[in-house]
A and B are shown apart, each in its own frame.
Chain A
Amino acid sequence: MALTALLACPLVGMLLILALPKTAVKAIRSVALLATGAALLGSLQLLAFFQPGRTQVQFQEKLSWIPQLNIFYTVGVDGISLPMVLLTALLSFLACIASTSITERQKEYYALYLLLEVGMLGTFLALDLFLFYVFWEVVLVPMYLMIGIWGGGRREYSAFKFFVYTLAGSLAMLLAILALYLRTRSFDMVHLAAMGHTLDLGFQQLLFVAFFLGFAIKVPVFPFHTWLPDAHVDAPTPGSVLLAGVLLKMGGYGFFRIAYPIFPEGAQWFGGTMALLGMINIVYGAFVAMAQTDFKRLVAYSSVSHMGFVLLGLAGLTAEGWNGAMFQMFSHGVITGAMFLLVGVLYDRAHTRNLEEFGGLGVRVPVYAAFLIFFSLASLGLPGLSGFVAEFLALIGAYGRWTWQTTVSVLGVVVAAAYMLKVIRQVLLGPLNTRWAALPDMTGREVISLAPLLLVVLALGVYPLLLLQIQDTALQQVIAHVLGQPWQR
């Protein structure tokens, strides 16, 4: 029941908030904090009792849901989903702390926020394809409303774009799920993976592409990425954090959990395209980020670039590559989440995100400067921080199979340095722009919301085994399966 309880935390919180009057802002906030906090504690509890070496799914629960269609409420975690669950719970909690910048319609906000968390957690916990799809879609609506109501800029347009793009992708996935069900009469991911090799190649290719569409839009993969900059830029800070930190990972997670294990031959057939797209994502995203003047937009495009490593690592089909891709998902979630929080901190004070209007803030706001430098460095893949481990593993994992793609991707690393340092220079360095002479430094609350992320980035960078040993067994097993060895679950 551990996982159901985990899902219930935000759900109960949401119901409670709906029951509260909308003027009781304090109570609403506390309930939200409690609910996300409880979810975080719950996920840490999972971590404590998780046995990394075991190949089986752990904490599994299976209840019949729609027996006529063989649909079950199946949840469970293994090394692939646990990191994502942790990431979701952590970012949800921290972004909830950072949600004080929301000053209107709090009741609706927090209710949607918690619903969003339910959806995200559920997506990572589900082991039944139907259930997975349900949670996958549940995420859409609250995020749509979040961007649309509390966003800035062209919020309506961006929210719309986000909604329509992702829905279009998931419809392709829905059809694939149906086709798969009609062929196998099962929605059970574990079972489906076990029969993966028995599906004929043409079928696998077709369905892999359909799933790819669904996941690729979420990741997002070039050229389906155009919703991302808009949505990220116009979302409220906590929304951006979750969007970049968790929602993008749902796409990547789908590849690990569904597309690769169920369509092993299809996946291998698609590998070249995957690597190529990964490369394009990395280099293209980095170049486009380089040219941005809006801080948030720059970070958004950097996400495009960084998520490319996930694709590249996946395409590598090696233990290193997969570990790297998975590690990148976690690490990028934390780093980008932090970056968006930092952008939010700056925007709350300066009400502008135009990089060219800043300058020399390093003197004025040393604590902020320290955080910004730290996370920028993490983002550009500085060794000793988590981003490096991920990128290195992804690159090394993909190099053998996709040599030139990887080689070109390494260029992206250089460009990453260029744009991240550009941010640091334009915001922090140089002579102080007198306009910001009275800019206050970060408050304690803001520090609290960022410090855990900093620790995570550092800890994973210094001792990556913390995460690697959780995910390694599961990943190795999936790879062995994809590459043709019998499935042992």
Chain B
Amino acid sequence: MPVQSLLLLSHALFCLGIYGILTRRHAIGLLLSIELILNAAALNFVLFSRAFGHVQAQAFALFIIALAACEAVVGLAIIIRLSRTAKTVFADHVDLLKG
């Protein structure tokens, strides 16, 4: 039971993350959606690590969490930076660069 249904759950998390990243306007909202995607992947790894008894996969999930932290740090730094230079935090407000 868990494999199929948890897989379904991770798919749903993944696609919700995708949906969020496409629709949220606030840059931090986008970051939140990305965390959903990462969690979906991590869930998968843990699930199948358990299924196959694979140690490295669980470690992989560990690294995903760590990298997610780094990514969040970098993302938030950039957003704070943007809020100062461009005076906005909305992803669709920044379009100086185009064409």
The short answer to whether A and B are in direct contact, CB under 8 Å, is no
B: which residues have CB within 8 A of A?
none
What residues of chain A have their CB less than 8 Å away from a CB belonging to chain B? none
